[in-house]
Amino acid sequence: MLNMLGIKCLIYQLMYQVMGVTRIEQSCTDRERLFYRLHVLIKEMDQAFTSAVSTSCTKLEMMGCLHQRAELSQLELQRLLGLDAAAVTRHLKQLKQQQLIACRKHDQDKRISLVSLTDKGEAELMELTAKRKQFLEQLTADLSDADIAVLHAFIERISRNIR
């Protein structure tokens, strides 16, 4: 149950999203500000990545899975990426329209669609991977190896708390 302070922080967070307010009310707790800042950071990174690499993280991850495994069913992709069926179908439809993937029916079970990268998809993956590497270099340019190790440790601790 939200107390008045929690409601006040929520309102400020909504203002941030809707109106572009650049600060969160100082009366929010440090944990609330951290949670919200991480939330905003994820969205900022996703938008910056999509802009720099010209594709979404999910599509690149999907293409990477297909490259590593050669051929996968939609259900296997869904499980590997932790996505719902509709998201996988939507991404695959776009990749197919771009001629980056090919689909075929499973030999023994015609209900199963198998997906693989086309030659064009493999070439696109190589190009996107190079752009991704450049983006990551720019993103972490002013971080030392020690900074990165500390961030990894904090993120892992938060991740364990989620599980």
Q: Are residues 35 and 87 in the same domain?
A: no
**Tens digits of per-residue pLDDT, 100-134?**
999 999 888 888 889 999 999 999 999 999 999 99
Cα–Cα separations (whole angstroms), residue 93 to 86, 98, 104, 162:
10, 9, 14, 32
**Tens digits of per-residue pLDDT, 49-61?**
999 988 998 999 9
Q: Are residues 99 and 125 in the same domain?
A: yes
Mean pLDDT for 77-100 is 94
| Domain contains 116 | yes
Helix axes 119-139, 57-69, angle to 10 degrees: 130
| Domain contains 82 | yes
Q: Are residues 67 and 112 in the same domain?
A: yes
**Tens digits of per-residue pLDDT, 144-163?**
999 889 989 988 998 898 88
| Domain contains 89 | yes
User: In which domain, by residue range, is 116 found?
Assistant: 57-129
Cα–Cα separations (whole angstroms), residue 131 to 39, 50, 97, 128, 145:
24, 10, 22, 5, 21
The CATH number covering residue 66 comes to: 1.10.10.10
| Domain contains 110 | yes
Report how many domains make up the chain.
Answer: 2
| Domain contains 73 | yes
| Domain contains 159 | no
Q: Are residues 70 and 12 in the same domain?
A: no
**Tens digits of per-residue pLDDT, 13-28?**
555 555 455 555 556 7
State the pLDDT at residue 59.
Answer: 92
Q: Are residues 94 and 35 in the same domain?
A: no
